[in-house]
Structure 1
């Protein structure tokens, strides 16, 4: 079994003049997954260590020869104000504790130390350090237009500004250990975002994905945490779960909104303690796998209605990424269509087909409830039926009309008997001028303000539309 990667990225500095205290702290931390530490028994060496070695947090004794903990705390607060210092001391005096907190100490813990008291303080300090880094990266990315690592997002076809901002947010949070909640409608590409977060993180372990929808409590626990031999009928050998497979990497849980409540409890414990028990085992296992989750449900509404645990909801939403639906990024339609047509042509061993100028405005008038996944299926279906060099608009009219009548299709194009005019339902007829202005405004909306596309929808030339726009009040 390979050794776990160092955690945290920079070491925890343990400062105490008693060697057995240093050893006990070190062993306790390592047993809980914090395996990157530096022991310092000589207080005069602290300044040199901090000068040459980035440190994540400091565990500091107060009463030491040569340089006291008070002096070290004061120096650290001045030179490294973002570095959390946890005082671990036998001095049980309120005045001393208050003075240390005023000097900038993150926490004050009394000896003899119980690991159950110290460990939550260390974890909070590590989280604060990570959040400060992420805030700093977010602030620096605020003035950037494009992501710093566009190659990571190369499989997500977009030029949309909202998507670019989302990419920059992914870059800011990627190196952390906190869970990431990815929300959005079906087909928007939530798993692609999860994979990008993992790739950006630099974590050496694997990216492991599993859809948890419909898994009952036992199957969920077995899938994630594995089982011991004899745990249930047929368990003739022990088996590792996906959490162990994702050690040092990322575990992606899709459709988290469909998870049963007993399974939610197990997931919450794992997120809070980083510990789990395989089925049928009383031996605790630990994991540093980062958890990424996705859902098409509105978890905020679910937890308000009592359908999703509130504590788990707030634990998961430390970082939230909302992926916009395709109808909110229709400027990506041409690039996405070109990409999927090229993919389909390669699969069917055909030449990449051309398509008429009217196709993009037609697609822009459709809401795409299945989002990018639906557009891909539509493109592949079109290429499989295509016989000439140019795709037929009639095919798309038929398919979109079958799925859900697109807004851009005039009622006169529907099949069947005589249709009533759309004007028949109006109580009061608009003037020709009012109708003209309303139709132009609607055509521009459906074509995302593309005048050429709007002209095609209205059945006039772009030049004629331009003249009408100039005459508008």
Structure 2
């Protein structure tokens, strides 16, 4: 998109009074943040405007010459049933309102109604249309199993079906202005997902990331909203907040689960009203950035425990993606291993060494508490220590061994050998792991290792050569 339009679909204003069209358009833009607007002063032209433009919502007057609002409402409902219609009339008549709702109008407002109530109703209708369009788009994508813009996700190394479903969902909600809640364990790639959402949205402003963990209420407000000169001691000059810096782009609030209750109130007001006050200012400013939030914590549990506001939680989870941990993406381990080793080799100015086959089997049975970030760190550490021809497994064995020691000390004796919710390793993978463990215990002595395994030394030697080829 060349500019940030809200909503993604057009809102058509139909009224025979030119002065009302001008003033109402100004209110929608300045107070409602609604700038994807079309105007029609002659009701006879409205259907043509709908055909020629991506209209999703019509704000319709009732009393107009030539073609009445009720007649136009019936035409829109019959020919374009997917378009929402809100009646905004000068008539305060219950019977007329009831009849319009019966004909298919989404809502009915009186022109003299206070502006906030009218804007709230229009925003509700926009959200309903956004959800309907997203559901249709989601159904289309899942049935066809396609990605329209796979290049956006090129930096996220995966062939996992669960991650592909996440990508399809993100393409579906990318045009929405509503917040997105990104959840997942530490190291699963939440910031990479935020970058993908920002790119998909086509917003012209930047992606601005703020880690809110540890910010008290005053620092949070100053960081987000900025301040005027003289707002507090030491405020020698005005400073723009992160919302201003994000401009018409995207604002990511990371570690949102650590936000204090007082700051949660400020964030809720920002999302509900779409405006904020810089510290020391009595003039509100509108937010033009889309808000994304990320956390590794269970917000559902936190709101049940009273540590996170329910109203904010439900506002944030309008759109939600949960990233699977690496232990649930075992098919991605070989891809990520190869990618990170190549990245480390380039960074260190070295060639990428061959990888022993048993390494993948070893890693597939590791819990990876640090997820993708941990695997990347292990690859860089292993290549930094590499001295031989084939990549040493020592760094990886040490990580797996430490985790194994923790699990062993805490394990229930009745616990099954393999987790029931995880795929079983193949016989070949188990055999490779046994060989690697035997060689580790025998300190590289093949004769001793073969006795531990109960096979001949030539058989072990043949297996080792095969795994390294």
> TM-score if structure 1 supplies the norm length?
0.87
Q: Residue 445 of structure 1: CA displacement?
A: 9.2
- Is 1:455 matched with 2:467? no
Task: Report the equivalent of 1:157.
Answer: 157
Task: Report the equivalent of 2:442.
Answer: none
Structure 1 29/401 Cα, relative in aligned 2: closer, same or farther at 3 Å? Answer: same
Task: Report the equivalent of 1:23.
Answer: 22
Distance in structure 2 (CA, Å) of the matches to 1:255 and 1:6: 29
Within-5 A mapping of 1:39-438: 39-405=39-405
Distance in structure 2 (CA, Å) of the matches to 1:183 and 1:89: 44
Distance in structure 2 (CA, Å) of the matches to 1:395 and 1:302: 37
Distance in structure 2 (CA, Å) of the matches to 1:4 and 1:160: 34
Structure 1 446/87 Cα, relative in aligned 2: closer, same or farther at 3 Å? Answer: closer
| Aligned 8 A contact 2:381 2:395 in 1 | no
Aligned partner of residue 339 in structure 1, secondary structure:
helix
Q: Residue 390 of structure 1: CA displacement?
A: 1.2
In structure 2, runs of 5+ residues without a counterpart are: 436-452, 460-469
Q: Residue 37 of structure 1: CA displacement?
A: 2.2
Once the two structures are overlaid, the 10-residue window that deviates more, 390-399 or 245-254, is: 390-399
Distance in structure 1 (CA, Å) of the matches to 2:402 and 2:267: 41
Aligned partner of residue 39 in structure 1, secondary structure:
strand
Count of residue correspondences: 434
1:99-137 per-position Cα deviation (integer Å, ceiling 9, x unaligned): 100111011001313211110111111111211111111
Distance in structure 1 (CA, Å) of the matches to 2:38 and 2:162: 43
Distance in structure 2 (CA, Å) of the matches to 1:406 and 1:400: 10
| Aligned 8 A contact 1:330 1:448 in 2 | no
Distance in structure 2 (CA, Å) of the matches to 1:123 and 1:313: 19
Aligned partner of residue 213 in structure 1, secondary structure:
coil
Once the two structures are overlaid, the 10-residue window that deviates more, 371-380 or 147-156, is: 147-156
| Aligned 8 A contact 1:92 1:110 in 2 | yes
1:340-365 per-position Cα deviation (integer Å, ceiling 9, x unaligned): 11111111111101121111111112
In structure 1, runs of 5+ residues without a counterpart are: 412-421, 427-437, 464-473
Distance in structure 2 (CA, Å) of the matches to 1:396 and 1:444: 24
| Aligned 8 A contact 2:243 2:251 in 1 | yes
Distance in structure 2 (CA, Å) of the matches to 1:135 and 1:446: 31
| Aligned 8 A contact 2:302 2:308 in 1 | yes
Structure 1 300/445 Cα, relative in aligned 2: closer, same or farther at 3 Å? Answer: closer
Q: Residue 4 of structure 1: CA displacement?
A: 7.1
Structure 1 67/221 Cα, relative in aligned 2: closer, same or farther at 3 Å? Answer: same
Distance in structure 2 (CA, Å) of the matches to 1:447 and 1:65: 70
Distance in structure 2 (CA, Å) of the matches to 1:446 and 1:313: 31
Q: Residue 206 of structure 1: CA displacement?
A: 1.1
| Aligned 8 A contact 2:15 2:43 in 1 | yes
Q: Residue 404 of structure 1: CA displacement?
A: 4.7
1:180-215 per-position Cα deviation (integer Å, ceiling 9, x unaligned): 001111111111111111111112221111111001
Aligned partner of residue 38 in structure 1, secondary structure:
strand
Aligned partner of residue 231 in structure 2, secondary structure:
coil
Structure 1 128/444 Cα, relative in aligned 2: closer, same or farther at 3 Å? Answer: closer
Q: Residue 290 of structure 1: CA displacement?
A: 0.7
Pairwise CA RMSD: 2.5
